[in-house]
Amino acid sequence: MRLHDYWPSSSTYRGLIVAIRPAYLGGVLFFVLGAALAGTPRGALDLRALSIGMVVMLLVHVITHYVNDAEDVATDERSQPSPLTGGSRAIQRGLVTPAQLLGVSAVLAVVVVLIAAAEIATGDHLAGALYLAILFFGYAYSGRPFMLGRRGMSEVDAGLVMGVLVPLAGAHVAGGINRAVWAAAGVLFVDTMLARMGTAFPDLEADRETGKRTIPAMVGPRRSVIAFALLGLVVAAVGFALAPLLPEPDWQRARAVVGAAGGLLAAWAIASGAAARWRMLVPLVVMGPFGLSAAVLFTAALAR
């Protein structure tokens, strides 16, 4: 292999941009959410630490997308592309190669490790540890040898990174992890699991054929009805249980009801056959409440 097999030429930069999938860069938003929930007065914020953290979140999210595209070529080739499923299609369109995506992601990973090491060296051991954990579990979703998405840990890994580690990191650099941040992490963990299950459902058959073990792929279309309904109810239960710890508890209870409705509507769509006729139905009915959940948390956090 020659160097250019891994490092892109000028003609492949468009492919790198497409593979970033900007619409999915929620890691930065959840980092900011954690910072907002920390409740630090605006003038006391460490803008340097906050900026560094946002750069790390952006880099890790790009790494995760690049590795996911590179390792999921067979699955993406068997699935129908859509705005929410099937990867970026940059490889399938001939814009970039898997080796090039992995090469660039390796360079970006080194940058993240260096940033984390610098934080540890300057005494902020927790920030460095959180950045390394986010990098590891983000990479491990699709990256070898871990490939957690193919070992039945797809939804749990996504919930851990996006729902827990990222907002904790944001809160830490903004002044401290308080009970509202922990409560939001619990809410976002189950919400992210439901959202990930929703985007995985349309690719159920392709995932099964290529050995990718998401919850829908493991339980099949019939039992997915039960899985979506149960997880939707868990979203509601967790939301109601943690509402008193969050700003604006009434909003949180309303959000929990909407989140549960997303899971139940997804279950209905699958059971009625509507999901089979319209590929995007399940992702949309799940991602809508997920987006509303994040918006409610943001609104409450900023109103503090």
Mean pLDDT computed over 141-153: 89
- Return mean pLDDT, the chain: 87
Residue among 160, 196, 187, 226 at smallest CA distance from 286:
196
**Size (the chain), residues:** 304
The mean pLDDT of 81-107, rounded to a whole number, is 83
Per the structure, the count of domains in the chain is: 1
Please state, in angstroms and rounded to a whole number, the distance separating the CA atoms of residues 7 and 66: 13
Average pLDDT of the residues in 72-81:
79
What is the pLDDT at residue 290? 74
Which residue do the tokens 């292999």 mark?
A: 1
Whether the per-residue pLDDT at 299 is higher than 80: the answer is no
**Dihedral angle at the C-alpha atoms of 182, 183, 185, 189, nearest 10 degrees?**
140
Tens of pLDDT along 233-271?
999 999 999 999 988 888 889 889 988 999 999 999 999
Q: Which residues of 102-131 are buried (b: 16+ CB within 10 A; e: fewer)?
A: bbbbeebbeebeebbeebbeeebeebbbbb
Q: What is the average pLDDT across 291-300? A: 71
Task: Inform me whether the pLDDT recorded for 286 exceeds 90.
Answer: no
Per-residue confidence band for 302, with pLDDT thresholds at 50, 70 and 90: low
Band (193; pLDDT cuts 50, 70, 90): very high
What is the rounded CA–CA span in Å between residue 92 and residue 77?
7
Q: Among 249, 252, 269, 131, which residue's Cα sits nearest to residue 197?
A: 269
Predicted pLDDT at 75: 81
Q: What is the pLDDT of residue 175?
A: 82
Extract the tokens encoding 147: 């490939």
pLDDT at site 37: 86
How high is the pLDDT of residue 109? 97
With 60 as the cut, is the pLDDT of residue 187 above it?
Answer: yes
For residue 137, give both structure tokens: 């579990």
Which CATH number is 278's domain given? 1.10.600
Could you tell me the residue range of the domain that residue 30 belongs to?
Answer: 3-302
Dump pLDDT digits (tens) for 16-71.
Answer: 888 888 767 677 889 988 988 886 655 566 788 899 999 999 999 999 999 998 88
Q: What is the pLDDT of residue 170?
A: 94
pLDDT tens-place string over residues 214-235: 999 999 999 999 999 999 999 9
Residue 24 burial (CB count, 10 A): 14
Place 163 in a pLDDT band, splitting at 50, 70 and 90.
very high
